[in-house]
């Protein structure tokens, strides 16, 4: 009901508690306690070998960019990602699934240098190892964001039609300063869903198009 009110009436009655803590509260009576160490993620054996394939340009550090998401309205347009990468002037690795291969190629061709595009080429465990090795992770509200939190990586998360108030921000109970959230606040059509859509219901996609590119770049650079 609280999520429905936030999406449909834009009345925020959500508890100011992360969803992980809400889940743990339900099993507290069984003696389960939060160790405050955050999330865990375990890759398959040998997944770390993917780091041996890093280009020479990336071996002294890189930014991992998770370009995908389950729904289009949770993803930055490709041209915004291209502008962010160009402004960074820093090696990046593009991460995503097979469904992201066409977009990743557009981004790669739009930048032309310092980009290692592995979208659709790695297992989830291998992608996690790239995240673990990154200096900073730029991501949407998606699974790799939570994997980055499990590794206590600096995270710049970009939020479109969904909002942090749902309680699904990077879970970093011991170091909230590792997370920077980029969003367009006070947009009267946001959130339009608790999950997402294939296209903007209003047709303008202001929740992503109006996000300040220099602010994203500065947030990433602040972790260098």
Domain extent, residue 176, equals: 2-6+59-221
What is the total count of domains within the chain? 1
pLDDT at 61: 97
DSSP 8-state secondary structure symbol assigned to residue 129? H
Residue whose C-alpha is closest to residue 169's, from 190, 188, 155? 155
Is 178 a domain residue? yes
Q: 79 φ, ψ to 5°?
A: -65, -30
Is 111 a domain residue? yes
pTM here? Answer: 0.95
Here the CATH number for the domain that contains residue 95 is 3.40.50.2000
Q: How many CA atoms lie within 13 A of 164 on its CB side?
A: 17
Per run of 10 residues, the mean pLDDT along the chain (length 224 residues) is 92 93 94 94 97 96 97 96 97 97 97 96 98 98 96 98 95 95 95 94 96 97 95
Is 169 a domain residue? yes
pLDDT at 97: 96
Structure tokens at 33: 């306690």
Is 40 a domain residue? no
Is 171 a domain residue? yes
pLDDT at 49: 98
Is 168 a domain residue? yes
Q: 92 φ, ψ to 5°?
A: -130, 155
Structure tokens at 121: 């080429």
pLDDT at 31: 95
Residue 27: other Cβ atoms inside 10 A: 10
Rounded alpha-carbon distances, angstroms, from residue 63 to 24, 56, 149, 160: 32, 14, 15, 21
Is 27 a domain residue? no
Sign for the CA dihedral angle at 28, 32, 38, 39 comes to negative
Rounded alpha-carbon distances, angstroms, from residue 7 to 35, 125, 158: 32, 33, 18
Rounded alpha-carbon distances, angstroms, from residue 149 to 40, 101, 138, 178: 9, 25, 12, 9
Give 178's contacts (C-beta < 8 A, 6+ positions apart): 152, 153, 154, 155, 170, 172
pLDDT at 220: 98
Please state, in angstroms and rounded to a whole number, the distance separating the CA atoms of residues 140 and 143: 9
Residue whose C-alpha is closest to residue 54's, from 148, 170, 132, 156? 132
Is 148 a domain residue? yes
pLDDT at 140: 97
Q: 151 φ, ψ to 5°?
A: -95, 5
Structure tokens at 169: 């921000």
Cis upstream peptide for 191 (omega within 30°): yes
């Amino acid at each position: 009901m609280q999520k429905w009110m936030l999406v449909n009436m834009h009345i925020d009655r959500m508890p100011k508690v992360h969803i992980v803590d809400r889940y743990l509260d339900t099993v507290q009576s069984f003696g389960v306690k939060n160790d405050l160490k955050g999330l865990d993620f375990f890759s398959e054996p040998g997944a770390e070998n993917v780091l041996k394939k890093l280009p020479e340009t990336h071996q002294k550090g890189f930014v991992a960019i998770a370009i995908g998401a389950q729904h289009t309205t949770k993803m930055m347009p490709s041209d915004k990602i291209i502008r962010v990468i160009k402004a960074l002037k820093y090696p990046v690795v593009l991460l995503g699934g097979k469904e992201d291969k066409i977009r990743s190629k557009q981004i790669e061709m739009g930048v032309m240098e310092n980009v290692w595009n592995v979208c659709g080429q790695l297992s989830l465990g291998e992608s996690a190892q790239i995240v673990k090795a990154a200096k900073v992770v730029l991501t949407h509200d998606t699974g790799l964001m939570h994997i980055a939190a499990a590794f206590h990586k600096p995270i710049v998360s970009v939020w479109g039609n969904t909002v942090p108030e749902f309680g699904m921000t990077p879970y970093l109970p011991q170091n909230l300063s590792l997370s920077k959230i980029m969003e367009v606040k006070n947009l009267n059509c946001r959130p339009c869903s608790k999950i997402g859509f294939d296209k903007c219901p209003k047709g303008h996609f202001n929740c992503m198009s109006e996000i300040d590119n220099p602010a994203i770049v500065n947030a990433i650079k602040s972790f260098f």
